[in-house]
Amino acid sequence: MSVENVVFEDVFGVAERRSAGRISSANLDGRLVHGLIEKFGGDVDLTPIQSEAIAQGITWERSHFIVAAPTNSGKTLVALLRIFEGCLRRAERFVYVVPLKALAEEKLLELEAIARAIKSNGGPAISVGISTGDYRVSEDFPDSPPVLSEILVCTPERLDVLLRNPENSGWSRSVHSFVLDEFHLVGDELRGARFESLVTRILTTCCDSSIIALSATFGSVKMVTEWFAQSGCRVKFLSNNYRFPRLVRRFVEVEDKNQWIRDYLLKVLPDSDRSVLVFVYRQSDVLRLAKYLQESSANVVGAFYSALPIREKSRLVDDFSSGKLRVLVCTTALAMGINSPASDVIVRDTVFHGFGTLTYSDLSQMIGRAGRGQREGVAHVLFSNVEQSQSLSARFKEDLPDDLVPRLIPHKKFSRKAKNSSEGINHELDNALLAQIASRISINSNELIEFISHTFSATCHAIPTAEVTDSLQRLEKEKLIYLNENSESLYSATKLGRTTSFAGLSAASGAMFGSFLRAMISLSEKTREAAPNSPSFVARLTKFDLLVICVASIECQSMWIRTSTGFNRDRVMSYLEGLPSDEKPLCNLWRDADSDTYPTRRLLATLRLDCSPDAFSFEKIFATAALIHEYSEGKKPLQQLIDEWSFKGDFEGRLISTTMWLLNALASICNGDRCYRLDFLRPKLFELTQELAVGGGLGGLLAVKGIGLRTVERIRGLGVRQLDDLRKLGVESLAGIGINKTQTSALKQLLVRRSR
């Protein structure tokens, strides 16, 4: 074993499972009790946090509950008891919010299994639905109406949009409780601001609803309690450090981290009951370390990172869960999304250059995954000799969780680090205010300030009125809101502002889309004045043009391809030259700064792009759009495309899902009934969305009645990559994968129309 210096070591949790009673003896509906016993294969021993929650009225009391307890302490069952007791005894409605789409799918299966068990034990049929705003996951978009099930599983962003739209107010007020899993997300640098805005909206508009906040132990409990209490509802805080199985936590300094990991695996892998998760900084580190470990532990080491195709990610997780893979090397960014049976966890990297150091909460989330079932967990956090291990280890020694830092309106001492601020602009505050204005016919500035006063930010520190005023002025300048006539403080949303908010777009992106479309309409009108028979510029926009517009948005900027500009330029130009003449993008003509016909600087300015000779944003956007466009055609395997374009990041999970959402939002803005009368663009936008939904080539199938994403996946399993490939298949082949005669007939009609 390589040389190590133990900085901190302890054992967290208890050696034997501690029973605080049995589920069968709890005061619960008998149908639920028997359903849970069937689901778990026997009577359930209640953990201390579960027993305390029942005693405190979790199953019936209309209070807000904050449940803070470690991983493996039983927090989830606390929420499930409230949900199913409410469904059975009072026919109430519940929303279960999880931070990731993949976790939403897992939670859906878990809730459905319990619902089936309840029904098989004499209970009613309890409907469970899912809504993520991702067409590929739940076949809805952010602006789709809510799923009218008794239990709805969704992501924070999807729920945020549902609550913005006043048409959904009847549904939202019918929700008895909102379960917010991983509640510490409110302090997350990237997503915390929107999560804070969401919780504030629940507290202020769903006055009869309760919040059940689930999280590992976190600081700022007093401030969160005060925040919730502003709604006038009682707040109960439940906390317990019980955990079973035990977790051995070790912080060690080592000379060579990779060698230490290799030696550790050689020591533990002979035990067939042990499996290891290894968290590292980024994708390149995952690949290098996995390759290094495979030299000594061949065929049992997998590499899991965000850029992998979704199917490959699922295969890796399944192989790891089944024991086929014993070691999974992954990025720390995926810590929240992996539900694994790991006995051991190793955190190799705690310092992210340019981003800072992992926090207590980050590490707790990762190392808490060690140990499953009866198996004791072992977690190692590695430090090099030059890294500062003392501050982190001290927090674990003293059990000092991080305080939750408000992100919607950060305090001045955090503003320099805030990701939602650029050049002094608080984009997240703009989004929150626009959402509040769009949800009403009109609203005055005092009411907006009152809404802000109910945020977690305002609970923690004073909010200068000037910040709200500055944000309102920006929104008005961007034509997203306007001052009512003869009024100095009464605001309403424009059609663009309302559509932007209800589609879940950021204010900045909505303003950019509107500015671009207005410029194109104006350019078309001026051209027609000079040449009446000339085609409309807007009508000439190709699918590639539409992708460029979406990729330019603030939502996509962190996902742009960032390879050398020379490579980008050459590859993009080669790709564009290979496109058919009718698919040549109009936006490529904007690259000529000297053109009189195409006012480059004006069009690029609407996309908020710098068109100076030394600016490369446009080339990064073009490269990213070209990658997405090539993916939509479905002619090459995904991994080949990612390698050829040197894309780094979560392609399907983030870039494609975000692009589909933006295309749908752009289609809403082009809806004449909602915003601009550009309905002729909508079929093109929907067709492109469908191509991205199925990974290219087969998107047209989704327009056929009776054909959905799952059916397309089965057809793809027959080796079909393009619509024309269907001609080679016989009826028997389609019938073999469950496609009925009606669907087969519809597919044949589609092919006939295509041949015409």
Buried b (16+ CB within 10 A) or exposed e, 623-646: bbbbbbbbbbbbeeebeebbeebe
For 605-640, give the DSSP string: HHTT---STT--HHHHHHHHHHHHHHHHHT-S-HHH
Question: What pLDDT, on a 0 to 100 scale, did the predictor assign at position 494?
Answer: 98
- The domain 247-397 is classified under which CATH number: 3.40.640.10, 3.40.30.10, 3.40.50.2020, 3.40.50.300? 3.40.50.300
Closest CA to 730 of 742, 712, 718: 718
Per CATH, the number for 510-696 is 1.10.3380
DSSP three-state, residue 321: helix
Backbone phi, then psi, for 278, in 5-degree steps?
A: -120, 120
Which residues, listed in sequence order, are joined to residue 687 by a DSSP beta bridge? Answer: none
Q: Give 22's Cβ-side CA count (13 Å radius).
A: 8
Give me the residues paired with residue 238 across strands.
67
User: Given this model, what pLDDT does residue 337 score?
Assistant: 60
pLDDT at site 119: 97
Residues of the chain falling short of pLDDT 70: 1-2, 333-339, 353-355, 413-424, 563-567, 590-602, 604, 610-616, 731, 754-756
Tell me the C-alpha distance between 447 and 691, whole Å: 44
Number of other CB atoms surrounding residue 674 within 10 Å: 16
Give the residue from 364, 391, 394, 359 showing the smallest Cα distance to 377: 364
Tell which phi-psi region holds residue 583, choosing left (phi > 0), alpha (psi between -120 and 50) or beta: alpha
Which of 494, 489, 479 is CA-nearest to residue 441? 494
What are the strands, taking DSSP E only, across 220-292?
235-239, 247-254, 276-280
CB 514 within 8 A of CB 555: no
Helices (H) and strands (E) in the chain, counts: 31, 21
Residues 551 and 585 sit within 8 Å (Cβ to Cβ)? no
Instruction: Give the tokens for residue 734.
Output: 């389609």
pTM of this structure: 0.92
Rounded distance, CA 305 to CA 648, Å?
10
Contact 149, 128 (CB under 8 A): yes
Name beta bridge partners: 154. Answer: 97, 131
Q: Which two tokens stand for residue 124?
A: 């009613």
Distance between CA 409 and CA 407 in Å, rounded? 6
User: Using CA atoms, how far apart are residues 711 and 738, in angstroms rounded to an integer?
Assistant: 8
Instruction: Quote the pLDDT of residue 731.
Output: 63
Closest CA to 304 of 325, 322, 324, 323: 325
Spatial separation of the C-alpha atoms in residues 164 and 157, rounded to whole Å: 11
Cβ atoms within 10 A of the Cβ of 680, count? Answer: 12
d(CA 437, CA 201): 12
**pLDDT 10s digits, 206-252:** 999 999 999 987 888 999 999 999 999 999 999 998 988 899 999 99
Structure-block tokens of residue 298: 């061949």
Contacts of residue 110, Cβ cutoff 8 Å, sequence gap at least 6:
none
Fold of 23-239: Rossmann fold (3.40.50)
Q: What is the pLDDT of residues 611-654, one digit of tens each?
A: 555 556 778 888 999 999 999 988 888 889 988 998 888 898 89
**DSSP 3-state of 215:** strand
User: Which CATH number describes the domain made up of 417-502?
Assistant: 1.10.10.10
Let me know: does 590 contact 603? Beta carbons within 8 Å.
Answer: yes
CA distance 739 to 734: 5
Phi/psi at 261 (nearest 5 deg)? -65, -45
Report in angstroms the alpha-carbon separations of 619 from 90, 310, 474, 560: 58, 27, 28, 10
Token pair in block for residue 449: 């300030």
Number of Cβ within 10 Å of residue 577's Cβ equals: 9
Q: How far is the C-alpha of 153 from the C-alpha of 131, rounded, in Å? A: 6
pLDDT of 149 reads 96
Two tokens at 109? 């299966």
| Gap between the Cα atoms of 615 and 17, Å rounded | 61
Phi (first) and psi of residue 425, to 5 degrees: -95, 125
Region of residue 204 (phi > 0: left; psi between -120 and 50: alpha; otherwise: beta):
alpha
Rg (CA), the chain: 27
CB proximity list for 237: less than 8 A, separation 6 or greater: 65, 66, 68, 221, 225
- Residue 627 in contact with residue 571, Cβ under 8 Å? no
Nearest in space to 250 (alpha carbons), one of 15, 4, 6, 13: 6
- Where are the chain's structural domains? 23-239, 247-397, 417-502, 510-696, 702-756
Q: Are 1 and 267 in contact (CB under 8 A)?
A: yes
CA distance 242 to 14: 7
The tokens of 452 are what? 């802000």
Domains 417-502 and 510-696 share a fold: no
Preceding amide of 48 cis, omega within 30: no
